[in-house]
C-alpha cells in the first residue's frame, strides 16, 4: 500500500496570531510535527513562549472594551460571517485535520460542518442576552439582574479534536462578549492555527481572538496570567489537576471538560444489529481517541455470545489505512508514545483475565512506519480490570456481561468518570429509567453521538469535569451575574 504524502503547501504558516500580527514563529522551542500515518515530519513549528502569551493577553484586554460594547446584532452578524467563511474553507480545514492527527478524510469534513453550526447557533444568541427583573419588598425599589462577559477567556484544547473543541469554547465565549486567547496543541496545531487566520478574514476586530500554538509551558502561562479572567480547559484529568492548582493562586474560575470511560449498556431486547454497529463506533471514531466514546460494552448475558460474534464479524470489514484515502474508516493513533501506552494497557488487561477476541498489537508491514493499532475487542472484562476503570484512548473495547438491570447500572456507574453513557433497548420505560440512574452528563438511548449538537448542553459528572458547553447553559458558562438594587425611596420623583 502506498500512502499519500501530505502537501506542505496547504499547512498554515502562523503558529502565533496576536491582534492583527501573524507571526511565522513564536519565541518558544521548535517543534517537529509528526504525521501519525507515516511517522514523518510535516513541518518545523516555532511554538509560542510565555512572553507571547503575555502579548496575546494584552491584545485581548485592549480589544475587550470595544468588543463588549458592540451591539448584539453586530456581534451576531460577525458570528454568522465566520460561519460563512468556515463554509468556504471546509475542504482545506478537513485536510488539515487529517494531517494534524490522522483523522480519516471520510469523517473530517463533518467536524468542520459542526463548527459552522456552532457559530450559527451561538451567533443567534448574541442579540438575545438579557437579564431579569426581580420583585422586591420592604419599600419601593427596583431590582434587576444583568449578565455580563468575564473579559478574557483562556482556552486550552486537546489534540484529538482541536477544531471541534476550540469552536465549542470560542463560539459561546465570543457571543457572550468575551475576547479569547486559545492554545493550539503542539501535537495537532494546524486547524486552530488556520482558525485564527479565518477570524481576521471574517472581519473580527484584531485582538478579539488570539492564537498561541504551544506546549505545557504555554498552557501554564495562560492559566497563571492575571489578565485571564476565566480558563476553559478540555483535556485529561491529570492535566486538569495542574490547571486547578495554578488557577487557585488567583481563584480564577475554570470550566473543565475531561476524560471519560463511557458505558454502552445493551439489553437483550435491543436491536442487536444497530447496537453492534454503534458499539464499535467507540473504538472506530478518531481511533478510539475521544473523551465521550463508548468503550465499555455491558451486554445482557442471554445475548452476550451472539453480540460478541456480531462485533467480531463487523470489525473484519472496517478498513484501516491511509487517512487521506476516502475509503479508510480508521486511521492511526496520535503518536508512538500513545501507541506504546495503549499496547501496555492491553497487555495488562490480558494479564488481569480479559480475553482477546480480535486485534491486539501494533500493525506491521505497510503500516510499520505509522502509529497503527487494529480495532481490539476484549471480552470477559472484570469490573476492576485496568481497561474497565481507566481511559485507554485508543481503539480498544472492553466487553462485560451482566444479568440484571440493577447490575448494569452499578457497573456503568462503577468508575470515577461520568461524561457519557449509552443505552440500547426497545423498552421505552427501561430507557428512561436507566438514563435517570446513570451518573453521567450526557445519555444516549439507542444512539451513539447524535446529541453532540451545538444546541444541547455537554459536560461531565464526577472526574469528567464540570461546567457545560453547548446550548443556553454553554452560553451562560461565559457570562457573570450582576445584581443591581435601586432604592426608589431615595430617587427624586420616583414615588
pLDDT in tens, 83-92: 999 999 999 9
Distance CA 263, CA 398 (A): 10
Element (H, E) at 95: helix 90-101
Parallel, antiparallel, or unpaired for β 30-35 and 40-46?
antiparallel
Which member of 257, 300, 391, 477 is catalytic? 257
Distance CA 456, CA 469 (A): 8
63 phi/psi in degrees, rounded to 5? -80, -20
pLDDT score recorded for residue 495: 54
SS3 (DSSP) at 129: coil
Q: Which domains does the chain have, with CATH numbers?
A: 8-258+460-481 (3.40.605.10), 262-445 (3.40.309.10)
For residue 494, name the pLDDT band (cuts at 50, 70, 90): low
Of 356, 346, 441, 350, nearest to 392 (Cα)? 346
Residue 116, pLDDT above cutoff 70: yes
Percent pLDDT > 90 in the chain is 95
- For residue 451 the three cell numbers come to 446529541
For residue 138, name the pLDDT band (cuts at 50, 70, 90): confident
Which range has the worst mean pLDDT, 5-9, 237-241, 291-295, 436-440? 5-9
Which member of 291, 300, 391, 477 is catalytic? 291
Of 460, 397, 454, nearest to 260 (Cα)? 460
What are residue 444's DSSP bridge partners?
422
pLDDT tens-place string over residues 237-267 = 999 999 999 999 999 999 999 999 999 999 9
**Could you confirm whether 257 is annotated as catalytic?**
yes
pLDDT tens-place string over residues 366-421 = 999 999 999 999 999 999 999 999 999 999 999 999 999 999 999 999 999 999 99
445 phi/psi in degrees, rounded to 5? -105, 115
- For residue 57 the three cell numbers come to 493577553
DSSP 208-226: SEEEEEE-HHHHHHHHH-T
Distance CA 107, CA 289 (A): 14
Residue 493, pLDDT above cutoff 70: no
pLDDT tens-place string over residues 418-444 = 999 999 999 999 999 999 999 999 999
> What's the whole-number average pLDDT of the chain?
96
DSSP 243-308: HHHHHGGGT--EEEE----EEEEE-TTS-HHHHHHHHHHHHHGGGG--TT-EEEEEEEGGGHHHHH
Residue 175, pLDDT above cutoff 90: yes
Whole-number Cα distances in Å, 462 to 415, 417, 441: 9, 6, 9
**Could you confirm whether 391 is annotated as catalytic?**
no
- For residue 307 the three cell numbers come to 453480540
Amino acid at each position: 500500500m502506498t500512502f499519500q504524502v501530505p502537501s506542505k503547501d496547504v499547512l498554515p504558516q502562523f503558529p502565533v496570531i496576536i491582534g492583527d500580527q501573524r507571526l511565522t514563529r513564536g519565541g518558544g522551542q521548535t517543534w517537529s510535527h509528526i504525521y501519525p500515518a507515516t511517522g514523518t515530519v510535516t513541518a518545523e513549528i516555532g511554538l509560542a513562549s510565555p512572553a507571547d502569551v503575555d502579548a496575546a493577553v494584552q491584545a485581548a484586554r485592549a480589544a475587550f472594551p470595544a468588543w463588549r460594547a458592540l451591539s448584539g446584532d453586530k456581534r451576531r452578524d460577525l458570528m454568522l460571517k465566520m460561519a460563512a467563511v468556515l463554509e468556504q474553507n471546509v475542504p482545506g480545514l478537513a485536510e488539515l485535520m487529517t494531517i494534524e492527527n490522522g483523522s480519516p478524510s471520510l469523517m473530517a469534513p463533518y467536524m468542520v460542518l459542526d463548527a459552522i453550526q456552532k457559530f450559527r447557533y451561538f451567533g443567534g444568541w448574541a442579540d438575545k442576552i438579557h437579564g431579569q427583573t426581580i420583585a422586591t419588598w420592604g419599600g419601593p425599589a427596583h431590582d434587576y439582574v444583568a449578565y455580563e462577559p468575564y473579559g478574557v477567556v483562556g482556552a486550552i484544547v486537546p489534540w484529538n479534536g482541536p477544531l471541534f473543541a476550540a469552536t465549542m469554547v470560542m463560539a459561546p465565549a465570543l457571543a457572550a462578549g468575551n475576547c479569547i486567547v486559545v492554545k493550539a496543541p503542539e501535537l495537532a496545531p494546524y486547524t486552530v492555527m488556520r482558525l485564527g487566520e479565518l477570524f481576521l478574514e471574517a472581519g473580527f476586530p484584531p485582538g478579539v481572538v488570539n492564537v498561541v500554538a504551544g506546549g505545557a509551558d504555554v498552557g501554564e502561562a495562560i492559566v497563571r496570567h492575571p489578565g485571564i479572567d476565566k480558563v476553559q480547559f478540555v483535556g485529561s484529568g491529570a492535566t486538569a489537576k495542574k490547571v486547578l492548582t495554578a488557577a487557585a493562586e488567583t481563584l480564577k474560575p475554570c470550566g473543565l471538560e475531561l476524560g471519560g470511560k463511557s458505558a454502552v449498556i445493551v439489553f437483550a431486547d435491543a436491536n442487536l444489529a444497530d447496537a453492534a454497529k454503534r458499539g464499535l463506533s467507540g473504538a472506530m471514531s478518531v481511533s478510539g481517541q475521544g473523551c465521550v466514546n463508548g468503550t465499555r460494552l455491558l451486554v445482557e448475558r442471554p445475548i452476550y455470545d451472539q453480540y460478541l460474534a456480531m462485533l467480531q464479524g463487523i470489525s473484519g470489514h472496517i478498513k484501516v489505512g491511509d487517512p487521506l484515502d476516502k475509503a479508510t474508516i480508521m486511521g492511526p493513533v496520535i503518536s508512538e508514545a500513545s501507541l506504546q501506552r495503549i499496547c501496555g494497557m492491553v497487555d495488562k488487561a490480558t494479564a488481569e483475565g480479559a480475553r482477546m477476541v480480535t486485534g491486539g498489537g501494533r500493525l506491521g508491514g505497510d503500516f510499520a512506519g505509522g502509529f497503527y493499532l487494529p480495532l481490539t475487542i476484549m471480552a470477559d472484562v472484570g469490573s476492576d480490570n485496568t481497561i474497565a476503570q481507566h481511559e485507554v484512548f485508543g481503539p480498544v473495547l472492553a466487553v462485560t456481561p451482566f444479568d440484571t438491570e440493577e447490575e448494569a447500572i452499578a457497573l456503568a456507574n462503577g468508575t470515577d468518570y461520568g461524561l457519557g453513557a449509552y443505552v440500547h433497548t426497545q423498552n421505552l420505560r427501561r430507557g428512561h429509567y436507566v438514563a435517570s440512574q446513570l451518573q453521567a452528563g450526557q445519555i444516549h438511548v439507542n444512539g451513539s453521538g447524535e446529541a453532540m449538537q451545538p444546541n444541547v448542553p455537554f459536560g461531565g459528572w464526577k472526574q469528567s469535569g464540570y461546567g457545560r458547553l453547548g446550548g443556553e447553559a454553554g452560553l451562560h458558562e461565559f457570562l457573570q451575574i450582576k445584581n443591581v438594587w435601586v432604592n426608589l425611596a431615595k430617587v427624586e420623583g420616583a414615588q
